[in-house]
Amino acid sequence: MAPVEAEKVTRGGQRPTGFTVRNVLFATDFSPISEAALPYATAICRRFGSTLHAAHILSDTTLLMATGGVDYVSMGTIFDSAQAEAREKLEQMSARCEGIPHRNHIGHGPVWSCLESVIEQDRIDLIVVGTHGRTGLGRLLLGSVAESILRRAPCPVLTVGPKVYGRAKLPMIPADRRDLAPPELELQQIVFATNFEHNAAVIAKAVVSLAESFESRLTLLHVIEDYTQLGGRPAPIEEAVGRLQDLVPKEAALQYAPETVVEFGRAAEQILRMASQREADLIVLGARPAAEVGTTHLPWSTAHHVIAGAPCPVLTLRS
C-alpha cells in the first residue's frame, strides 16, 4: 500500500467551546451522495475551529472497474491520471473551505487502511461521510466505504443519508458564489436513542455536552422491543424512565430540561418516528466496535435502518 499523500495546508482561528472537535475527516468519492455531506463537515469546522481533512482513496479495484479492465502494465499510467484528477477535484473543493484550516489527502490502496492511516496520523476526532442508504435483499446496503467506516472507526461518525430534508439539510454553496454566506450548523433538536449499552453514561455525557454547546432541546429515547411480557405491570417502563434520567449528569447546564421518552415496537421505526415528530436536527446512537460484534450485519441493523430513513444526520458514538 502506498502511503497517504498529504497536500495543501491552510490555517484559521479557533473558537472555544465545551464540545471539542479539533480534526474532521471528510471521506469522499466525489459522487453527489458523498458531496452532500461536505456542507456539514465545513459547518462543523467553522463552528468548532477545526481542521478539515478531505480524503479520496484510489484503489486498484476501483481503477480497473472505471477503465473496463486493463493489464497491470498500464496501471501506473492509469493511476497517475486518476491521481491528477483527484488532486484537481480536491483543490476545487478547497475553494468552498475558505477560512477553514484544511488538508487534502490522496491515498492508494485498500480504502479503510488508507483512511485509518489518516485517522491515526492526524488524530481525527470526527468522520463525516455521505451514504446512499439503499435497501435491498432484506438488508441495508450503505456502500462499502460507509460500511467500513461505521464498523471500524475508533471515533464518532456523522453520516448524512438520502432522506435528510428541511431545516436539517444544509445546502451546497457553489464555490463562485462568494456573496452567499456559508451554511451554519444549528442543532435546535437532538434525539439520543439508547438501549443502555456498555458505556451509555459516557455517550450520554458527550451528547449533553453537545446539547449545551448548541443550546439544544434534548430528547432521550429508549425503545422496548420485546414487550409481550409487560402485561399491566408498569415497573419496566418506570425503570427505563429512571435509567434515562440517570444518564443526564447532575452538573449538566442545559438550556432546556431534557425530555425522557420510552416507546414500544421496532427500535429503528420508533427512533425515526420520534426524530420526525420532534423535527430533529440530529439523531445520536451508540454503537459497539466491530471487533465486539463479529462479522455479521445483525448488530448494526438498527443503526443502518435509522441512517437510511433519517430526516437529519446521524451521529454514531462508540460505546
What CA–CA distances, in Å, run from 45 to 22, 77, 238, 246?
8, 36, 40, 32
Confidence of residue 252 (pLDDT cuts 50, 70, 90): very high
pLDDT per residue as tens digits for the range 75-131: 567 777 888 888 889 888 887 787 899 999 998 888 888 999 999 999 999 999 998
- Predicted local distance difference test score (pLDDT) of residue 273: 97
Q: Are 299 and 288 in contact (CB under 8 A)?
A: yes
The separation between CA 273 and the C-alpha centre of its own chain, rounded to angstroms, equals 20
Among the ranges given (29-43, 124-138, 246-260), the one the predictor scored with the smallest mean pLDDT: 124-138
Measure the CA angle with vertex 143, ends 139 and 149; round to 5°: 105
For residues 213 and 137, the model is more confident at 213
Q: What is the number of helices (H) and of strands (E) in the chain?
A: 11, 13
- Predicted local distance difference test score (pLDDT) of residue 98: 78
Answer yes or no: is pLDDT of 293 > 50.
no
Q: Which of 21-25, 68-72, 137-141 holds the top average pLDDT?
A: 21-25
Beta-bridge partner residues of 223: 263
Answer yes or no: is pLDDT of 6 > 90.
no
Q: Are 26 and 41 in contact (CB under 8 A)?
A: yes
For residues 201 and 98, the model is more confident at 201
Q: What is the pTM of this model?
A: 0.85
Q: Which three cell numbers stand for residue 298?
A: 445483525
Measure the CA angle with vertex 9, ends 4 and 10; round to 5°: 155
Q: Which of 52-61, 107-116, 120-129, 285-294 holds the top average pLDDT?
A: 120-129
Distance CA 254, CA 201 (A): 16
Q: Which of 2-11, 20-29, 221-230 holds the top average pLDDT?
A: 20-29
- Predicted local distance difference test score (pLDDT) of residue 168: 93
Residues in the chain: 319
Q: Which residues are CB-contacts of 174 (< 8 A; sequence separation ≥ 6)?
A: none
Domains in the chain with CATH codes: 1-179 (3.40.50.620), 186-319 (3.40.50.620)
Answer yes or no: is pLDDT of 73 > 60.
no
Among the ranges given (37-46, 177-186, 191-200), the one the predictor scored with the smallest mean pLDDT: 177-186
Confidence of residue 9 (pLDDT cuts 50, 70, 90): very low
- Predicted local distance difference test score (pLDDT) of residue 284: 96
Give the CA count within 13 Å in the CB-facing half-sphere of 257: 3
- Predicted local distance difference test score (pLDDT) of residue 303: 85
Q: Which three cell numbers stand for residue 291?
A: 471487533
Mean pLDDT in residue range 243-266: 94
Q: Which residues are CB-contacts of 76 (< 8 A; sequence separation ≥ 6)?
A: none
Answer yes or no: is pLDDT of 16 > 50.
no
Confidence of residue 295 (pLDDT cuts 50, 70, 90): very low
- Helix (H) or strand (E) segment spanning residue 106: strand 102-108
Answer yes or no: is pLDDT of 137 > 90.
no
Q: What is the rounded average pLDDT for all residues in the chain?
A: 81
Among the ranges given (77-86, 159-168, 173-182), the one the predictor scored with the smallest mean pLDDT: 173-182
* Burial profile 219-239: b = 16 or more Cβ within 10 angstroms, e = fewer: bbbbbbeeeeeeeeeeeeeee
Answer yes or no: is pLDDT of 141 > 50.
no
Distance CA 295, CA 298 (A): 9
Q: Are 281 and 186 in contact (CB under 8 A)?
A: yes
- Predicted local distance difference test score (pLDDT) of residue 61: 64
Q: Is 78 helix (H, G, I), strand (E, B) or coil?
A: helix
3-class SS shares of the chain: helix, strand, coil, % to 5? 40, 25, 40
- Predicted local distance difference test score (pLDDT) of residue 216: 96
Distance CA 291, CA 279 (A): 34
